[in-house]
Structure 1
């Protein structure tokens, strides 16, 4: 069964929306709790700021992936307009 172009676009946008939402949040807490608090042992304010910086970098990476996908996708799902000329 073939997918409709609208559903394919919905799946792509939904995937990247979840990626853009969950990846920075999980990166913040993983970096804060595991890396900065446990391994490095920084104080609370420093670990929060450092984890926020990592989270912003991860967010930009996820947004970059979405933009790359949007621009590199080959005109998929678009209808070509054909002009009929009468001679």
Structure 2
């Protein structure tokens, strides 16, 4: 979504069939609470960079993870600053 009067104003709509999603904070951290145990596929995306593929096997920013009981930590995902550069 965008504003025809204020071009810097835009928003993104994400339609999901479940309540599990997150947006990152100003440091890039995020948390998805109450995620059921099992195999899940996540997709990482950033509005300027697009799909985040920090590893070659992450096609279109998709990563498959096995969620276990308790805390699950994805660790640090490093993304090159060049993906945020103006094109």
Using the size of structure 1 for normalisation, the TM-score is 0.26
Name which structure has the greater RCO, CA cutoff 8 Å, separation 6+: 1
Instruction: Kindly indicate which of the two structures has a greater share of residues assigned to strand.
Output: 2
Over alpha carbons, which structure has the higher Rg?
Answer: 1
